[in-house]
């Protein structure tokens, strides 16, 4: 299993509850969101 961060809250997703493609999609989505959030914070603080 792995954790997905959503607005500071962590949701545990069981490996057997999703297909491999579903896990990759959710993980990629959370990474994009984290990068976007981090970038906006850096830009806002500059």
Distance CA 15, CA 20 (A): 8
pLDDT in tens, 1-46: 456 565 555 555 555 555 677 777 777 787 888 787 777 766 665 4
Can you give the pTM of this predicted structure? 0.38
Cβ partners under 8 Å of residue 10, min gap 6: 3, 4
Model pLDDT, residue 5:
61
Model pLDDT, residue 9:
53
């Amino acid at each position: 299993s792995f954790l997905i961060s959503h607005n500071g809250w962590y949701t545990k997703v069981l490996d057997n509850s999703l297909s491999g493609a579903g896990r990759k999609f959710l993980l990629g989505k959370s990474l994009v969101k984290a990068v976007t959030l981090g970038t906006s914070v850096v830009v806002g603080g500059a």
